[in-house]
Amino acid sequence: MRHWIARQRYLIDFTLASLARRKTKNIGLVLVFSLLVFALASVTLLTSALRQEAARVLAQSPEVLLQRMVAGRHDLIPPGYIERIGRIRGVQQVEGRLWGYYYDPVVKANYTFQVAATVPPPAGRIVVGPGLARFRGVQAGNVLSFRSYSGKLFTFTVDAVLPAESELVSADLVLLNEADFRAFFDYPAGHFTDIALSVANPQEVRTVATKLAAALPDSRPILRDEVLRTYQSIFDWREGIALALLSAAILAFAILAWDKASGLSAEERREIGILKAIGWETGDVIRMKLWEGTLVSLGAFLLGYLAAYVHVFHFSATLFAPVLKGWAVLYPSFTLLPAIDGLQIATLLFFTVFPYAVAVLVPIWRAAITDPDAVMRG
């Protein structure tokens, strides 16, 4: 065993000395390789953390949401619907939700106005999300004016700002009471935006949804399961798109690695010839190159993964913010709960380290089995 370790150490010494002779080229290769792993690992870590965040945060969202559809579009719930739903067996609690969008031309941002069902703010006062407060530079006690869609100017006093840690769900929220909401949007009395309902027995959610659809044919029930599934698929899709965009980079790197791995330089060829001539066995040459591939690819994987971890969980994935932000003016600042998917990291490790370590072997093996004299002469 000791002999084996000593032998491997000599091989590693030789490999490192050989890599150091082509220092610039090899450092460049490790950097590009690390950058690629960094990009792939950042996408993987971010999407898996966001997926878990959505699943946990929205776990208590309404069990069933009922929208009314008119000509394929979401429409207001007219009076009488809530009473009819309340009569359906299995429905425990029914609550009309009032919410809508407001475009603020001052800062060119979209807000979500919503009536706070529990503990609504007093008349003329609003509670705002931390993103909005930061963007408009307001705090509790300040005054905010909005011109409503009917053209009238409404002035509200900021009662409170929602806690900063809730920003991922509340960045653009403006909470107000029902009377202010109806006055601001000129909302017809007795109408609601949609209906949130809870079901006594969680096993019966689907049955209740079927009954709802039968009793109110123009309605569309959206189950909590579907909301959660939407978020799973959004981040699967987003990860897929990001990986598809990165595929060009992966392909470019594959070409670079293939070129390096398959086309031995004259210098490397001569080196193998000399090693063979001074008595190295083919197995030793292959082992030496295997060490080279492993050291380069494992080093690049570790560097890239560590940088991605710090980027996503300590710097809130700052480099991806412009992509996620799109044209939105209001973008939440948030810190995610780390969710590392061991299987994904193992897959990434396998697909970065293993192919590279193996790719260097083929041409070396071909060169190593030929006559040293022929190899040295090229």
Partner 1 sequence: MRYAGRPSALAAWVFAVLIALFLASFADAGRLGQKRSGEQAARAELAARLRLTDLALFTEARYTRHPSLADLHSAAQDHPLSLEHFPSGSLLPPPAHLRNHASLDRETTVPD
Which is closer to partner 1, CB of 187 or CB of 254?
187
Q: Got the DSSP string for 222-262?
A: EEHHHHHHHHHHHHHHHHHHHHHHHHHHHHHHHHHHHHHHH
What x/- string results for residues 320 through 359 when contact with partner 1 is judged by CB under 8 A? ---xx-xxxxxxx--xxxxxx-------------------
Assess 249 for contact with partner 1 (CB under 8 A): no
- Contacting residues for 331 by C-beta, under 8 A, at least 6 apart: 131, 171, 321, 324, 325
Q: Helix or strand or coil: residue 176? A: strand
- What is the C-alpha separation between 336 and 246, in angstroms, rounded? 23
Beta bridge partners of 244: none
Write the DSSP assignment of 19-79 as a string of letters.
HHHTHHHHHHHHHHHHHHHHHHHHHHHHHHHHHHHHHHHGGGS-SEEEEEEETTEEEPBPT
Q: How far apart are CA 27 and CA 12, in angstroms?
A: 17
- 238 touches partner 1 by CB under 8 A: yes
Number of amino acids touching partner 1 (CB under 8 A): 94
Q: Which of 62, 273, 293, 363 binds partner 1 (CB under 8 A)?
A: 62
Nearer to partner 1 by Cβ, of 182 and 220: the residue is 220
With binding defined as CB under 8 A, does residue 298 bind partner 1? yes
Closer to partner 1 by Cβ: residue 209 or 285: 209
Does position 112 interact with partner 1 (CB under 8 A)? The reply is yes
Strand partners, 268: none
Give the footprint of partner 1 on residues 196-215 (CB under 8 A).
196, 206, 209-210, 213
306 binds partner 1 (CB under 8 A): yes
DSSP 153: E
Q: Report in angstroms how near the CB of residue 18 gets to partner 1 at its nearest.
A: 10
For position 82 contacting partner 1 by CB under 8 A, the verdict is no
CB of 312 to partner 1, least distance (A): 10
- Nearer to partner 1 by C-beta: 224 or 276? 224
Interacting positions 137-196 with partner 1 (CB under 8 A): 162-163, 165-173, 175, 194, 196
Q: How far is it, in rounded angstroms, from Cα 316 to Cα 46?
A: 9
Nearer to partner 1, 337 or 374 (CB): 337
Which residues from 255-294 bind partner 1, rule CB under 8 A? none
